[in-house]
Amino acid sequence: MRKLDLDDDVFGHVVPAIYVLSDARGETAKAVVEAAAAQFGDGSVEIIRVSGVESVEQVRDYFDKNFDPDRPSAVFHTFANGQLRREIRRELDRRGIPSIDLLGPAVTVISTLTGEEPSHAIGATYSEHPAGNE
């Protein structure tokens, strides 16, 4: 892969970390991140999945113990519960960790189109597709 022309190699030889956070298994977010990372070649990022997140306290605890502030990082997340999604986003913003909500905007658009409220069901994709297909 062609490298960006930066004055110095800003990140050195450190592989950036992409954290995938989810209230379910994290398969949806992981698939999106893998598709995006494929544009940059093998080993361009390390994907770290944190599944079964039920509270912002879990996220705080995880990042307090595992986050390296000297390593380039970002978070991609999928949370069915809008309140939890907002709390986690605020926590990540407070820590200065860039994040992308992969589910919220799509749910909002579909809700607007259908005139229906979302179920906020965790892992809804899996409950409707028992074979494990998303």
Q: Residues 6 or more apart from 99 whose CB is under 8 A from it?
A: 74, 75, 76, 77, 88, 89, 92, 93
Q: How many domains does the chain have?
A: 1
Asked whether residue 1 is assigned to any structural domain, the reply reads: no
77: CATH = 3.40.50
Asked whether residue 133 is assigned to any structural domain, the reply reads: no
Hunting for tokens 């000297």 — which residue is that?
A: 70
CA distance 85 to 92: 11
The pLDDT profile of the chain, 134 residues, written as one tens digit per residue, is: 455 544 445 555 789 999 999 999 999 999 999 999 999 988 999 999 999 999 999 999 999 999 999 999 999 999 989 899 999 999 999 999 999 999 889 888 999 999 998 877 776 665 554 444 44
CA distance 105 to 101: 7
Asked whether residue 4 is assigned to any structural domain, the reply reads: no
